[in-house]
Every structure is written in structure tokens, then in C-alpha cells.
Structure 1
Amino acid sequence: MSSLTWIAIVGLICIHLVPCEGNIWDILRPKFCSPSIPRRPLNGGFSCSYVNHACVSVRYYCHSGYKLQGENFNACFSRTWLFSSPPRCVEEGCDAPTLRNGDYSPRRSNHRASSVITIRCDDGYKPRSRHSICRRRYGSNYYWSPSPYCTRDAKCDPPNLRNGNYSPLRSKYNRNTAITVTCRPGYKTRSRDSLSYCRGNSYAAYWEPLPFCFSTVCNDPVAPTNGRAIPETRISWRVNSTVKYDCNNEFKLVGQNSSYCQESGSFAGSLPSCVRLATCPTPIPPTNGRMEPRSKTTWRETDRVSFYCDVGFTPVGADAATCGADGQWDNVAPTCAEEAVVEVTTGSGDA
């Protein structure tokens, strides 16, 4: 029989066996490998595969209640065992978790069922759960629940706020944290409750609404009916900007004659009104006298008339009258009484 080379595949290892010559096997020495069998794992054992009465490969196993930790096979290669040390047989449970961007405690290579580990994540990350429990699914299959994991944890930086302050002060703000914004006089916040919240997801965080203090302005003032606001408009009505009110002819102002822009964004006080002036009947000049002005045809509230007597007459009564809000004159025309004539007689006599 021709010479052949036998190859045995154990695991991932190819082993060249001795050739067969003349139909007679070349008998191997009693110790094919040194040592002839590998070391047994504590709380476990192995089963051999023999060639020509020599153990050339083994499969490791563990006793009940234990599981293998390491390679489950070994092979003789060039008269030496591939792995010098056997795998470990550890109590059944969860292997040490692989955790990125964090750490856990207690650190062990094997964790019994119901064991609990505490998760700690690096800065910028947070644990899915602070604790994870080793649970048994079926047979000798164990798993961590929930799976130890550190996810990104984006946070908000302190806001860059001008013309105001905020609280509380921190170097970083977790999502859903709120800050209270307080603006300087003459400024106000975007939100009614002055609160801003850190929003976002694991990868990006932002403030909503954006903390901001903008200058308080009022809308253009409203002019009273039959009147006007002075000035009527301007580019911006800032806090403490003032406006004056005036009425058209034949009307008078009732109420405040000016206002100013408040921090609330509205003008202070109530809008005045313009009411029509009262009219008085045309005054009658005194007999033997006159009034000024004479050509006026309509006499309105606050109008004034003056009375004069002709030469040789003296006024008896008020010399002027004013048209009142009730449409009546406050005085009547005086009486022009004739002045008395005094004759002076100068007598003459002899010296």
C-alpha cells in the first residue's frame, strides 16, 4: 500500500499523523503528547479522541451547576498541547458585561443568578438603567436585564443672556430642566411665565424658548376721537416714551393730556376723550356802549367778551363775561349810566 499522510481536524487545528507503510501502522510511542493528556478543569473534565491508542484531541465539559469559561477544546500539535492551561468551570450565571463609555461594580468575571451590578457612565453619557440584574432565561442561558448600556446624554450649556439674569446657575443643565429668566427694567422675556426649558434628545440639547430679554416697546398710541396724539408715530415707543393728546377745534380734552409707555408694553392711564364745546347765545351789548369782539357769530365755551361804555357813560356791573360749559354766560352786560354834569360858576366882583 502506498504511503499516505492522514489529517485529523480538531476544532480549527490540522494534525498530521504518521504515514502508513507496508500496510503496517507506525506504532506511536505511548506518550504522543507531553503530557499524554491535558490538565482537567476544576469542577469539570474532558473526553478524548484517540489515534493509535494516543489522546490527540479533547473536548472539555463542566459538572452540573457550572459552565465553561474559555476554549472548549484542545489538541495535540507537534507533541505539545495547543493550550497549556484548561478552561475554567465557573458557577452558572452571567459573564462580565462589555460596557462602553462607562464602568460597573462589582467587577467579576462571572456573576451568579440574581446578582446586581451598578452602572456608572462617563461624562456626556447616562445609563439606560442604574442597575442591571443577572437573570436565567432557560437551561444554562443567562442574560443581563436590562442590558448594561451607556447612551449619549446631551445637556444644555448655560445661556448667553443679555439685559437680564437667570436662575439656578449651573455649569450644565439636564434635559427638561427649567430656568427662570429675569430681565432688567425696560426689557421683557419671550414667555409669559419667564421660564425656559432644556429640550432635545441624546445627541443634541437646546433651550426652548430661547432665553432672551428684548426691549419693551408699545404700539403707536391711539388718538382720541376728534383729537390727535402728538407725535402720532415713531420708529419705536420704548419704556418711558411720552405722548401728548390734543383735540380738534370746537372740542375740549376730558381726561389726562399725556401718557407714557410702561414696562408692560402699554400706555399708562386711560385714553382721554374730546367732547364738543358748549355754545352760548350771542351776548347783547349794553345800551350806550359796545362789546368786543363785535364780529363773532358763534360763541363757544371759554370764549370771552368785554363790555365798554360810550364817552360820558360809566359801566355799572361786570365789564366782561365768559361762556361757560353749561352754555350760559357767567355775567350779563353792565349798565352804562350817564355821568353827572357839574357846572362850575365863577363870580366876579370889584376889588
Structure 2
Amino acid sequence: MVVVMSPDATEEDVAAVVARVEAVGGEANVSKGLTRTIIGLVGDIESFHHLNLRTLRGVADVHRISDPYKLVSRQHHPERSTVWVGTGRQVPIGPETFTFIAGPCAVETAGQTLEAAQMAQAAGATLLRGGAFKPRTSPYAFQGLGVQGLEILAGVREATGMPIVTEVVDARDVTVVAEHADMLQVGTRNMANFGLLQAVGEAGKPVLLKRGMTATIEEWLMAAEYIARRGNLDVVLCERGIRTFEPATRNTLDISAVPVVQATSHLPVIVDPSHAAGRKDLVVPLSRAAMGVGADGVIVDVHPDPESALCDGPQALLGTELRELASAVRRLPPVLGRVDASERVREG
């Protein structure tokens, strides 16, 4: 069961609902979104029905939810959500806009990161992605610069004004990453790392949650529910390809997951064509497909010198491919009723 509070509900109103639920042995999980507070109830449904929660001050509605993911479901939140990323400069990700996120897969040096950010910004990107911590399949591969990489990203944000999206791979690092980044990314290998999901849910920053390479859509949404239960509804889902029998690409981009999830959950959904394909020649076509199917944005790799990249150089865009993607981002979303996110940026 879910209690939806009205936009003008006070902290005292929320506390009154929580107290009444706990008085009958129930558990109340408070999640605060941009305009609404939602309280997910766990316990005996019949007991909750006798509480007359709708009569309490500040309660807008009460829903009985059948989906196992209660807080991220559209059953209690029929309108799709917009997540704002950044502090002084806030970039929207949501149903009315198309958000272009780009940057280097890994932060290598200050110069390389700044150059990649400038390339991304010139192509129309409004958010900068860059990896300071890199979970790699091989323990011998480049694992990222860690805190030094975070400091480089913060410096590049200062120079460009672009809010930062970066991955956190360990619950112990959530605090330091949140101190530097505007959005915390949970990667495919950590989608089912429940301790990490709960930690980012408590960090007070928006979260980009990538789909696990072998995860079903329900498992993906249940991972988002872990974050929401810790009080954070500012979650953006990212389809980045799943593992199938097909070896022609690194992963198989499940483009149908975008409308399926949007029909089920109110959370924004973006696509990562770079990590899906692992080949730069497929990034632009897959980005066009993402736009056509209604994705709320794309996140792609760019690098000033892909051949020398320490991570995922074959998929990084440069020159002709980046210009082609920039053209597609300018032309296609408006045809589909979307506004470029740069036109809705809020200056705090």
C-alpha cells in the first residue's frame, strides 16, 4: 500500500501517517520526490485499511499496489517523473525533454577530461559523464584514478558548468563520490549490490541505475525500489544492453525495454548505446533508435584520442561520428515532441 501526500503536506503531516502505521505494527518508508512525498507501507494490508489514512491532514490519496516495486510503479504515480541533476545549474531528465550526456568512459588526466568535456559540450551535451572508479572484468585493467579522478571532474565542472555523472562501485566510497559528483551512477555489475543501492539511496543525490547485463526488467525495477525505499525517488534508469547468444556486438541493446519500463514505472529511462555496442560505428544508429522509441536521453563515450584511451577506446566518438550524433540530437527529438534539455536548464 502507498500513501501519496499532497504537495503542501508538512513534516508533521508525514510523521502523523508514519506514527499511525507503526502503531499497528506496520513499516512506513518515506520517499521524497521533487513535488510529492510518498510513503510505502509494509505489513498487514487489512490493518492499514482500518486506519482511515485518507482522513489524515496532508494525505492526497492511498493506493493498494499489486506491483512488487511499489514506490517506482506508475500505479500510484501515474505521471512520469522528471529528475533534476546539479546544484547551481540544474539539468532535467524526464518525459518532456531529451538529455544528451557525454564524456570519457574513464578520467585519465586533467587535460584529457577537459578536452573530452569541451567536445561533448560543443556537440550539445548538457551533462558530463566520466569514470573515476572503474569496475573492470580483468583485475589487470585500468581501475580508474579514484579520488584524484573525482577532483579532476570537479575542476572540469568548474571550467565548463556541466554537472557530473560518475560511477560509485563500493558503498564505502559513496560519501566521497557524493561530495564531488552531481549524480551517482550504479553500473551494470553492481545493479544487484543491495548494500550499495541502499547507500546511494541515502546519499541525497540523484542516481543513474544501469540495467544488469543479465537482469530482467522486474529485477531492474526492484533494484530501483531499494534506492527509493531509502528515501530517494530521484532515480534515472539506463538500458545499456543485455547479454545474449549474439557475439557481433558486446551486448544486445534491448530497445523494447524503454517503452515497457515507461509504461510500468514513472522513472525516466535513458539509453547507453556505447556500452551496448562496444563499437563506435553503431553508436549513432542506436542513438537514433533510442530517440525514436521514446528514450528520455542517451549517454555516450567521447575521447580526444580513442586509440590511446585506457578504457573502451573502440566505442568512443570523435570527429565525424560525434558531429553526426550532434546533428541527430538537434533534429530528431523536436520531431518527436521533445525539447532539448538545454532549453529547460534551471540556474540556481
With the shorter chain as reference, the TM-score category is: under 0.3
Which one has the bigger helix percentage? 2
> Max radius of gyration: which structure?
1
Q: Which one scores higher on RCO, CA 8 angstroms, separation ≥ 6?
A: 2
